[in-house]
Structure 1
Amino acid sequence: MRIGIHYANFTHPDWQSTLLDRLTATARAADQGGAAWFTVMDHYFQMENLGGPPEPMLEGYTTLGYLAGQTSDVRLGLLVTGATYRHPGLLAKIVTTLDVLSEGRAMLGIGAAWYDREHEGLGVPFPPMSERFERLEETLEVVQQMWSSNDGSYEGRHYRLAETVNVPPPVQDPHPPILIGGSGEKKTLRLVAQHADACNLFGENPAAIQHKLDVLRRHCDDVGRDYDTIEKTMIVETDPLRDTDAFVASMGEYAALGIELITLAPMADDPAGWTTAVCADVLPRLAEL
């Protein structure tokens, strides 16, 4: 089992003067400590459970572009891009640029979007859920076409592109991995089976995760996809440093179900120190699962 470090909270002591230094140090700690990926959120406003709009939030892809120059090995992505935030042709170009500038370390994490307040706050259209999923599916189709040899037109219900030209192409072959976030059984996991290289599930109990993976397997069977080609990842909201033995034991249950990577968010005023400790003390034990 591997780990990803998810930097979701910028509100640390004296963040007004230390935000950049802490972010940089944490990304470097993840990179040097052997984390598989380093992610930030794709939000205009901070989520309300972390303080809401008054708290700091950086634009995601600008942040990743900066971190590409501060790291050397760790994969970089957003967990996850909202399909409503950017036109899909532009999104493909942005992730391609990140892949080129990071020398092949970009990942496209994507979902249907959910935070209505930030859309309304900045005047970005927020269609109903059914339409958001339609736009997500078309976005996946557009991005994959732009990462192929087909530079012709795309005609969808919501998006129409005359030319899907994308030069230079991504460094990764055939393209940066696509991860779809969420656990919805009817739409989200079906889209994983059809389009994604990885899923990212919410950290529920082992029985619930087993059920979600069974649903994903059925979708794979329905569309003729090899279930084993999809990387199974999960967000965990537990501090592994609080009781490392108990944490590793609990993660063993998920590893036995097929979870290959867990995403952890720093839970300390010193996120870089926390990340260093997790990589040194927890990661080696998880790698044995």
Structure 2
Amino acid sequence: MLPTTDPVIYDSNHKGTDRYRLRINNGMGVFEMKFSIWPHLSGTFEDLTKVCTSAEKLGWDGLWIADHFMPNTGDDTTVSGATAEAWTTLAAIASVVPRMRVGTLVTGNTYRNPAVLAKMAAQVDIISKGRLVLGLGAGWQINEHGAYGIDFHTVGGRLRRLEESVQIIRSLLDNDRTDFFGRYYEIKDAPLEPKPIQEHLPILIGGGGEKVTLRITAEHADEWNVWGSPSVLEAKGKILETHCESVGRDPHEITRSAQALFVVSKDKATITAARESGGGRVLAGTPDEIVEIIGQYEAAGVDELIIPNFNMGSTDQVLETYNLWMDDIISQVK
């Protein structure tokens, strides 16, 4: 049951993991949710900076970027296409966007030694003045592994490495010295200085694998992210809660986020086509319908909704869509 007493509030002063929240009254009650952008990295750095700084001024809560080296082809073939490196880009953007949370969605664990990744994350947290979320996944894109000579491993092998890595990263960030002797990684008397600004830099695990990924999330993650419709988020969220119970953890300690491609229109044919082509990943409808869909995500336990701009067109069109979101959707609930 959603609470029904408070007015709409945008609180930009609250600190911590939930630092920026919208409280929305859509006629069904009041709920809190963060709204973040996910810009693509195939354009120029100047365009990316324009998109991110504009979103910051409009009031978006966070920005997330993918960690890939080339366009995905679905197999081991490669195609040319601009793909900015995630961590150097994130550091640069964090220095010019002073408020929004910043994070990777998600970093492939196979790409970097976990100790080196922890070092990188700590420095980006310092650059951002304590706004980083380290999003981490097992790695999945075949072609960049083959092209760059990175071992791909089996699904099970990648997940086992992910589980070791998240423990190493957590220990390095939190402790003076780390010793870890695992099946895949060994860390010996390892320091990490300087420490991140956040006392507990949040680690997000991305993925919906019900047996292993969600168990790793329950044991080790501060945040969890997955693509999917509200019904998918609800079903997988219940499985996550079961894993939390088995490891003795309160599931409410884990912040949940989801993403969908965003299409808003008053044309029914456009809306129908977007929904049919999106396979549950498209958030499509009139402004009124979008508000209702957001309520469904919230009811499914989602704390943050992330909107990729992959289908929005040019930089100017992206900015128009961000303005449209704030003017025609958020304005309804203020």
**TM-score, shorter chain, exceeding 0.5:** yes
User: 2: CA distance between counterparts of 1:283 and 1:264?
Assistant: 14
Q: 1:189 corresponds to which residue?
A: 214
Q: Deviations over 1:111-156 (max 9, x none)?
A: 0010011110111111111110011001100001101224032111
User: 2: CA distance between counterparts of 1:70 and 1:90?
Assistant: 24
- Matches for 1:86-125 after TM superposition, within 5 Å: 86-125=112-151
* Structure 1 residues 280 and 9, CA gap change in structure 2 (3 angstroms): farther
Q: 1:269 corresponds to which residue?
A: 314
Q: 1:250 corresponds to which residue?
A: 293
* Structure 1 residues 123 and 32, CA gap change in structure 2 (3 angstroms): same
**Aligned residues: CA RMSD:** 1.9
Q: 1:215 corresponds to which residue?
A: 239
8 A contact 2:176–2:192 mirrored in 1 = no
- Equivalent in 31, 51, 74 of residue 56 of structure 2: 31
TM (norm. structure 1) is: 0.90
1:172 counterpart letter in structure 2: Q
* Structure 1 residues 107 and 283, CA gap change in structure 2 (3 angstroms): farther
8 A contact 1:4–1:38 mirrored in 2 = yes
TM (norm. structure 2) is: 0.78
The structure whose Rg is larger is 2
Which deviates further from its counterpart, 116-125 or 148-157?
148-157
Q: How many Å apart are 1:253 and its aligned residue?
A: 1.1
Q: How many Å apart are 1:177 and its aligned residue?
A: 1.0
- Equivalent in 273, 276, 282 of residue 329 of structure 2: 282
1:59 counterpart letter in structure 2: E
User: 2: CA distance between counterparts of 1:25 and 1:276?
Assistant: 14
Structure 2, unaligned stretches of length 5 or more? 1-32, 266-284
8 A contact 1:154–1:164 mirrored in 2 = no
* Structure 1 residues 164 and 31, CA gap change in structure 2 (3 angstroms): farther
* Structure 1 residues 95 and 121, CA gap change in structure 2 (3 angstroms): same
User: 2: CA distance between counterparts of 1:103 and 1:45?
Assistant: 30
Q: Which runs of 4+ in 1 moved over 3 A?
A: 279-285
8 A contact 1:199–1:231 mirrored in 2 = yes
Q: 2:185 corresponds to which residue?
A: 159
* Structure 1 residues 207 and 20, CA gap change in structure 2 (3 angstroms): closer
Q: Deviations over 1:184-238 (max 9, x none)?
A: 100111111111111112122x332211111011001000111111111111123
Q: Give the % identical residues.
A: 31
1:231 counterpart letter in structure 2: T
Aligned length: 277
Q: 2:6 corresponds to which residue?
A: none
Q: 1:259 corresponds to which residue?
A: 302
8 A contact 1:268–1:274 mirrored in 2 = no
8 A contact 1:135–1:158 mirrored in 2 = yes
User: 1: CA distance between counterparts of 2:257 and 2:331?
Assistant: 18
8 A contact 1:240–1:282 mirrored in 2 = no
Q: With CA pairs under 8 Å and 6+ residues apart, which has the higher RCO, 1 or 2?
A: 1
Q: How many Å apart are 1:280 and its aligned residue?
A: 4.2
Structure 1, unaligned stretches of length 5 or more? none
Between Structure 1 and Structure 2, the one with more strand by share is: 2
* Structure 1 residues 100 and 9, CA gap change in structure 2 (3 angstroms): closer
| SS of residue matched to 1:173 | coil
Q: 1:139 corresponds to which residue?
A: 165
